[in-house]
Amino acid sequence: MIIRRLMLSLVLILFASLTIGVILGLDDVARGSLASRIPSLAPVSASPEPVDPPKVAATPKGKPTPRPTPTTAASTPKPTLGPTQPRSTPTATSTPSPSPPRSSAPPAAEPTTQPTAQPTAKPTVKPTQAPTTVPPKKAPSNAYLKGPLRKGPGGTVYLTFDDGPGVSTSAILTILSRTSSTATFFHLGVNEPGFPHADARIRAQGSTVASHSYDHPDLTTLTAAQLAWQVTHGPRATCFRPPYGATNKAVRKAIAHAGMREVLWSVDTLDWTRPGVATLAKTGRLKSITDGSIVLMHDAGGDRRQTVAALPTVIADLQARGYRVRALPYC
């Protein structure tokens, strides 16, 4: 009887061990269904619990550690927008379902798209520097005559002054009188009220007054009505010099319609850049000056003390070369 019991218990133990081994080898679903069929083995399934944490410990308890895992999972899922597009298109950030991780992506993508829109807004460059016809290049050293000046065949050089009347106009007239010279003054209508006697003094000295528009705009940028107004609201004259030397067919037509003649220049001293008295004083030695040259200088529109200081030397050198310094005869 004892032997039979022993044998039976051995068979039961063997059977139990085989059953446990089989159950351990099964997955969670198979193990659960097997436990429902064999109630006697239900307690055995409790032992594998520590082996598979994902189901029991991960989601329900809401540990802080499983939260980052959706971010890695969110980068690999198969929705077509996935890894390549979120950077270039900020709209893609709203579509993915895991909203917490994706919401941090757009701020990085947005700043890169915005700055490109603004820089090319309005760089319209209409220079307000004077004059536009002749670029402000410094004359090379070999442009000037060196040594004692000799009288040439003679002729006339026409001095012109722009942008007045101004505080330097009177000093220039004094120098012209002292050197028995005359010049043409292209003045602005806007400056005339501040120097009400300037034009009369210019004419009394033997020089002439011409027009340089009302307030020195680039006439080529104006409407027909604005152009006509600028041309007719300078000083009364027979000659007109467009500001900056900026001219075109419409400007010439408006000048002619006002009964005036357009006058530009052939030699620009660039005195408006204030290059220094020594540089300006060499103007009378320029090789480019010949009989009939029109020399551009300024009596206002800025600090013209350098022009005033250099002018006596300029006139003296021109006269030493045999030139007379005169106002334009047709103005």
Query: In this predicted structure, what is the pLDDT of residue 5?
Result: 76
Query: In this predicted structure, what is the pLDDT of residue 32?
Result: 58
- pTM score above 0.85: no
Query: In this predicted structure, what is the pLDDT of residue 130?
Result: 38
Quick count: other Cβ atoms within 10 Å of Cβ 81?
14
* Overall number of domains in the chain: 1
Please identify every residue annotated as catalytic: 162, 298
Distances (CA, A) of 312 to 270, 277, 292, 300: 17, 11, 20, 18
Query: In this predicted structure, what is the pLDDT of residue 129?
Result: 37
Does any domain span residue 2? no
Residue 51 is encoded by which pair of tokens?
């082996």
Strand, helix or coil at 2? Answer: helix
- 3-state helix, strand and coil shares in percent for the chain, rounded to the nearest 5: 50, 10, 40
In terms of Cα–Cα distance, which of 317, 328, 262, 268 is closest to 295?
A: 268
Quick count: other Cβ atoms within 10 Å of Cβ 181?
22
- Asked if the bond preceding 70 is cis, omega within 30° of 0, the reply is no
Instruction: Give me the long-range contacts of 13-18 (CB less than 8 A, separation at least 24).
Output: none
Query: In this predicted structure, what is the pLDDT of residue 135?
Result: 43
Does any domain span residue 94? no
Give bridge partners of residue 324 from the DSSP assignment: 156
Query: In this predicted structure, what is the pLDDT of residue 60?
Result: 40
Does any domain span residue 263? yes
* Cα–Cα distance measured from residue 157 to residue 316, given in angstroms and rounded to the nearest whole number: 12
Does any domain span residue 22? no
Give me the tens of pLDDT residue by residue for the chain, a chain 331 residues long.
677 777 777 778 877 776 676 666 655 555 555 555 544 444 444 444 444 444 444 444 444 444 444 443 334 334 333 333 334 333 333 333 333 334 333 333 333 333 333 333 333 333 333 333 344 566 676 899 999 999 988 999 999 999 999 999 999 999 999 999 999 999 999 999 999 999 999 999 999 999 999 999 999 999 999 999 999 999 999 999 999 999 999 999 999 999 999 999 999 999 999 999 999 999 999 999 999 999 999 999 999 999 999 999 999 999 999 999 999 999 9
CB 262 within 8 A of CB 240: yes
CA 58 to chain centre: 57
Does any domain span residue 217? yes
CB 238 within 8 A of CB 331: yes
Does any domain span residue 284? yes
N-to-C CA span, the chain: 151
Query: In this predicted structure, what is the pLDDT of residue 3?
Result: 77
Does any domain span residue 311? yes
Residue 277, domain extent: 157-326
Does any domain span residue 261? yes
Query: In this predicted structure, what is the pLDDT of residue 13?
Result: 81
265: domain CATH number? Answer: 3.20.20.370
Half-sphere exposure of 280 (CA within 13 A, CB side): 22
Query: In this predicted structure, what is the pLDDT of residue 103?
Result: 39
* Cα–Cα distance measured from residue 275 to residue 307, given in angstroms and rounded to the nearest whole number: 10
